[in-house]
Structure 1
């Protein structure tokens, strides 16, 4: 994101990530059971939300959640998604904004469920005021948050079984990838730098992304930066050159036109070990900034990079 992207989005739906209060549990609003209900209750960050058991007009203002809805089989129930929801291709992309949500524009689609990852412009209250169910599912701060939110959306859309199947598959794939590469990363003491933009903004190990890298035992060169406390420091060129990371991951390929060929042209960068050894990895900006069903692809890109280090 430009401003600095969080894992919450190329969109950058806020630099600071908040913890998702999603529990994944739901009940029949009438008898407290989970079967044959006309409504279900989903525990989201905005509390217990009662939604139709199988909503037919869903709006998603979060690219990550849009991906999840289609991955669990709820795509046909989605009538509109935000302007940044560019995946999958069949998602009904509109001019609706997740950054500056307009309640009137949203209501015009006559939704029976709206999903957001940030409560901007007071959109949650505005929708609740007109009795439109809205789920606030914030950017994940750890893997369990991501899985919980996927299961929340499964429960809310009538696709709980598909959501569980998806999260089970994600967990298994991620565990397999990490198991194949983590020993090498730890034994070699490999370090890395994750680039959010060409202004050298990065992430520390406290962020969602940092935790993903941490599963491999990779050491983050941004952790000791002077302004690392907020989780998204802007590194100086001098600091980065001194750290000389073993691996460089670029998450600013689409947004900022950065790639492996561009790095040697930066002053001093041609001397970095990662540049000289070809250990510069070009990530998909979107996959690297979302906490949805394509997360295993990011993990695999990291694992493959570790395996290639000589």
Structure 2
């Protein structure tokens, strides 16, 4: 009943607004459009995953190399920012979704595509609050505003369930955690980042609250000296594993002076899939459950 009422109100609201739509992307550009985009090339796995969640599997005509979730993306042609203009134009997209790093690195390509009438939008949220705006932007671009609101509602409900579960665990029983982002740099995550949101909702206590963001990213350099200084407070050592951090448990336990870290001595070193903790998708809820099971077996 609640969702039905929400749907009716939302439809009335849409009918009362002007047809032209506008968003501001993460490169600071204002994009205006009159109708939803229907032929989309997505060059970031999170974009693709969210588009499929919004029910846009038929509208996604291309993805970036290496994507494998959901499984249907395996049948899509792949595109790369290093591909020439002609390959993109041959697919006849009306929208290409990228990240800010792509916008900065390949500006010539995007400007050339824009001259041929292809809209290019750069999006990548860095915090949970920004994720909601990101999902709404995807919904507006594709005419799935209501579905985007459902995503937000479902995500918030999942977070509430995690918080209710956590309420049964006293603060004194919540382990101190170092959450590694990049092993070779001995880096962790910035305050307010998605991985630390996952850690908090899973009932872990971040021991690296003094970490400073690097170049305005979610990555925060930490260093061996500070890590070892906190070693006695690290009950669990977590590391995201994936393209950003191709690491093994052995890499961590064999690191310099690792024996000064309590989690190494007690064999509480674990890896977690970066897709579950670092991407702005509904799978962050699975990340919370996964980390909870590690911290509170």
Q: Contact 1:65/1:115 (CA < 8 Å) preserved in 2?
A: yes
> What is aligned with 1:96?
79
The 2-side partners of 1:275 and 1:80 are apart by: 43
Does residue 159 of the first structure (1) align with residue 148 of the second (2)?
no
Does residue 249 of the first structure (1) align with residue 238 of the second (2)?
yes
Structure 1 segment 18-33 matched on structure 2, within 5 A: none
Structure 2, gaps ≥5 residues long: 1-12
Q: Contact 2:166/2:201 (CA < 8 Å) preserved in 1?
A: no
Does residue 125 of the first structure (1) align with residue 111 of the second (2)?
yes
Does residue 196 of the first structure (1) align with residue 185 of the second (2)?
no
> What is aligned with 1:276?
265
> What is aligned with 1:34?
14
> What is aligned with 1:11?
none
More deviation, 82-91/37-46:
37-46
What is the deviation of 1:172? 0.9
Q: Contact 1:63/1:85 (CA < 8 Å) preserved in 2?
A: yes
Structure 1, gaps ≥5 residues long: 1-32
Q: Contact 1:51/1:113 (CA < 8 Å) preserved in 2?
A: no
3-state SS in 1 of match to 2:157 = helix
What is the deviation of 1:59? 0.8
Q: Contact 1:222/1:233 (CA < 8 Å) preserved in 2?
A: no
Selected match of 1:168 from 133, 153, 156: 153
> What is aligned with 1:240?
227
Measured on the aligned residues, the alpha-carbon RMSD in Å equals 3.2
What is the deviation of 1:41? 1.5
TM-score when scaled to structure 1?
A: 0.74
Say if 1:254 and 1:113 are closer, same or farther in 2 by CA, change over 3 A: closer
Selected match of 2:58 from 70, 76, 83: 76
3-state SS in 2 of match to 1:250 = strand
More RCO (CA 8 Å, sep 6+): 1
Deviations, residues 200-251 of structure 1 (Å, cap 9, x unaligned): 22213243433443456744333435x6564533333343222122222111
Which structure has the highest helix share of the two?
2
3-state SS in 2 of match to 1:192 = strand
Say if 1:161 and 1:224 are closer, same or farther in 2 by CA, change over 3 A: closer
The 1-side partners of 2:80 and 2:16 are apart by: 35
3-state SS in 1 of match to 2:58 = helix
Selected match of 2:210 from 214, 224, 232: 224
More deviation, 171-180/248-257:
248-257
TM-score when scaled to structure 2?
A: 0.77
Q: Contact 1:204/1:220 (CA < 8 Å) preserved in 2?
A: no
